[in-house]
Amino acid sequence: NANYLFAGPASGGAAIPSFRKLVAADIPALDYDKYSHWVLQASGTNASNISSGTTVNITGSGASSVTKSGNTITISSTDNNTTYSAGTGLNLSSNVFALTGQALALHNVSTNGFFYRNGSTIGTRVISVSGNGITISNGNGASGNPTISLNIGTGSAQVAAGNHTHAGMTTGSGTNNYVVKWTPNGTSLGNSQIIDNGTTVYIGTLSSSERFSVTGTSTRKTAIKGVSYSADGDGSGVYGMSQTGKGVHGFSNYRFGVYGEAKNGGTGVMGIAEGASSHGVYGYSDKNFGVYGEGFVGVYGSSEEADAIWGIVSGTGDGVYGQAIGGNGVWGQTTSGVGVRGQASGAGDAILGIASGTGDGVYGEATSGFGVYGRSSAVGVVGVGVDDGDAIWGVATVAAGIGVRGANNANNNNSLSSGGYGGYFTTKQTKSAAVLAYLGNDGASYYSGAAISGVTTVATGGGGSFGNENKDGTAVLGAGNNTSLSYLQDGSGGAFTGTNVGVVAWGENVTSGTGISAAGNGLSIYTFERGSGGVFYGKKTGVVAKTDNGTNTEALYSENGTQVVRVNHYNASNAHYKIIGDGAVSTIVKDTEGKKVVMHAPETPEYYFMDFGEAQLVNGFAHIDLDPVFSKNVAISKEHPLRVFVQVEGKCNGVYVDNKSSSGFDVIELFDGTSNVNFQWSVVCNVADEVHDNGAVSYYSKLRFEPAPEPLESVQQKAIKIESKPVIEKKEKLIIKEKKEFKEEKKEDFM
């Protein structure tokens, strides 16, 4: 066959030759691995053999190599350098085109454009010049904005543009709406205190919609201060005028909302309001004074329709504060508004007036409104009187009028620790009273040494009436001995606390006086004709006495002379007694004539339980089973044997008791008798010890002539009486200030 050869086996070794296919191992034997036996043929469809002996030149600057793989020979070079013919103008050397003659022509690039390399891609940029400006933009449709970095300077002294400072230029940063100012070093710009938001120019915190606003701080306490030193007395520290709003409005978180000081006859603060809803002077403060004035007239306001003076404070200061030596601290005059109005929502004083001469601390006058109106969550009006004067004097000339009224109308604040009073009264005169209330005709009296002294001449009333309309409320709370107040969660008529005595009551009539009388279940109060220390009346339970069980305690202790009886008593060894005390244990029964007579209970030195029964001998024998409830509660042992007593009710030889145990006993006839008679029996046993719920043990089985408890020591308290004293009133003439002619107009009640 074609391509077969006659040779030994393909696997080698000695063997008989035969015809087989040519294999790769046969080629060295044929000497085909030598180049002299090869034919070199070019690749391609029209390739032809290269004649033997022809020289083939391989050009290129890199090294050439010849490799063989199977029957394929590869001739290659390490680079692709090719020298182009002269005249083409280009030479490729080391991957670089070099111009040798004519200019390089680049197509599809914008005018003034240039190539740049970005990794493996090529992009273009366009440089354009206009005047003194240079613009670099994308070219040839490339996307993205070019980024330009410049270095200022040369060599190692190059400075980045962001760190370069140019002479004649000032930089800085600020906050929107703040007016720019030089910073303290004078070389840069920053925020000032002035803010302009396009609607309001203000300093501090904008709290409303004024055109101009200034708010004080904790270190700069005065928001606006005006000082006038006019020689002719015509100047004003602060002057404001408004027809519908506020003439002067000041707000401060700490000191003065509006502060004015004047000399030489000027006016510290003067406000004129012409409209019905306007205010002559209006001040508001979170901390101290809403309006503060000092002079012959500290604060003066005049109005025909609205409020002459209105001060509001929400902190600890004063809504309106005026101080005068010879004149009026605060003087407000109006025809239909409020002469002086103070409003405080914090712990401050709505109105504070001080007069150290003959004037009035606070004087207000009105025909249809309020002469003085103070509203506060702390103190509405404070007046200080010196030189034997009255701090505040309120007079009502009509039957339905109110001499002095105090109110706190702020929303409830459960976290408030102090302040917030509707009325606040204090005195250092221990022989007097902080508040004296008297109901009746002239000739008032009071009880000295009391914070509140209330006296009435009306039989149906009381010196003090207290109530609580909350369903869980307590009407009266009282605490003595510097102790804390206590009350029931569900409320009560009164709750009283003391270190030694919580409540004390006396009935002073020596024949019928009753110290205290109390009734429950909606019943009526009653007393005994001969009097008593206390009477308690209830539909089911009259008196409840309770104590925590322990040694030497009792729920009820009673003494009659030197004789003592205790009820529900524990002794020193925790033995529990229903009743223990002097005297007999007795009861009352009726005799044959219906009269009540006394019977007495037997008593023993030990504590016993007893049981009784009847049975019958059957052929001279009977077994008695004790009630298991009885057996459970008695002590039966060698020290405390079961005591059995038998009484036969017929003829027999007599009986004896045998086999005694906690469960029962046997009754047996003597001499092996066989009688069938009836008999009565009784048993007596020591009471078993008892473990109480609190863990205490009453050792009843050991009781025998135990020591009796001693009477309690009593401490007699001394009663001190306080007699009522008459009130000595100063007979002074009420001076009414000169006033203008008032218009009779009704003011809407804003209480």
Residue predicted with more confidence, 553 or 254:
553
| Domain residue ranges in the chain | 4-77, 215-399, 553-600, 608-692
- Comparing 161-175, 488-502, 611-625, 690-704, the range with the smallest average pLDDT is 161-175
Q: Are strands 643-648 and 678-687 parallel, antiparallel or unpaired?
A: antiparallel
For the stretch 199-217, pLDDT in tens is 788 787 776 567 777 777 7
Q: Are 93 and 84 in contact (CB under 8 A)?
A: no
Examine the pLDDT at 504 and tell me if it is beyond 80.
yes
Alpha carbons 250 and 256: distance in angstroms, whole number? 8
- The beta strands (E) that lie in 617-719 are given as 621-625, 634-635, 643-648, 655-658, 664-669, 678-687, 690-691, 697-698
CA distance linking residue 88 with residue 99, whole number of Å: 10
Cα distances (Å, whole numbers) of residue 273 to 262, 285, 301, 343, 749: 21, 21, 9, 19, 21
Residue type, 452: I
Residue 124 confidence (pLDDT): 67
Distance CA(630)–CA(622), nearest Å, equals 20
**Percent of the chain having pLDDT more than 90?**
17
Each residue of 119-139: pLDDT tens digit? 656 666 667 666 656 666 665
**What would the mean pLDDT of 586-609 be, rounded to a whole number?**
95
Q: Rounded CA gap, 301 and 363, in Å?
A: 12
Q: Quote the CA–CA distance of 175 and 483 in Å, as a whole number.
A: 58
Of 146, 150, 160, 151, the residue nearest 116 (C-alpha): 146
Residues 716-720, mean pLDDT to the nearest whole number: 77
pLDDT reported for residue 555: 85
**Ranges 500-514, 575-589, 611-625: which has the least confidence:** 500-514
Higher pLDDT, 522 or 389: 522
- Pull the structure tokens for residue 543: 């008196």
C-beta of residue 500 within 8 angstroms of C-beta of residue 480: no
618 pLDDT band, cuts 50/70/90, is: very high
Do residues 464 and 456 make contact, with C-beta atoms less than 8 angstroms apart?
no
Q: Under DSSP, is residue 52 helix (H, G, I), strand (E, B) or coil?
A: coil
**pLDDT of res. 591:** 96
Which pLDDT value is given to residue 651?
96
Residue holding tokens 């000169």?
738
Per the prediction, the chain carries an average pLDDT of 74
Closest to 264 in 3D by CA, of 237, 239, 291: 237
- Looking at per-residue confidence, does 543 or 450 come out higher? 543
Q: Is the pLDDT of residue 312 over 50?
A: yes
Nearest to 292 by CA among 238, 338, 334: 238
Q: Which of 736, 731, 724 minimizes the C-alpha distance to 388?
A: 731
For domain 608-692, the CATH architecture is: Sandwich (2.60)
**Residue labelled with tokens 């044997």:** 641
Q: What is the mean pLDDT of residues 55-62?
A: 58
Query: Beta strands 318-324 and 289-294: pairing type?
Result: parallel
In one-letter notation, the amino acid at residue 450 is A
Q: Name the strands in the sheet holding 289-294, side by side, starting at the edge strand that comes first in the sequence.
A: 225-228, 256-262, 289-294, 318-324, 349-355, 379-385
- Tens of pLDDT, residues 638-653: 999 999 999 999 999 9
Q: Residue 665 — very low, low, confident or very high, per pLDDT cuts 50/70/90?
A: very high
pLDDT exceeds cutoff 90 at 693:
no
Q: Which of 175-189, 392-406, 491-505 has the lowest mean pLDDT?
A: 392-406
Q: How far apart are the first and last CA of the chain?
A: 135
Residue carrying the six token digits 């009486």: 721
Mean of pLDDT values over 586-610: 95
pTM of the complete model: 0.44
Token look-up 């218009």 returns 743
Select the more confidently predicted residue: 695 or 665: 665
pLDDT band of residue 570 (cuts 50, 70, 90) is confident
Asked whether residue 296 carries a pLDDT value surpassing 90, the answer given is no
C-alpha distances (whole Å) from 600 to each of 13, 564, 578, 584, 708 are: 146, 19, 17, 7, 21
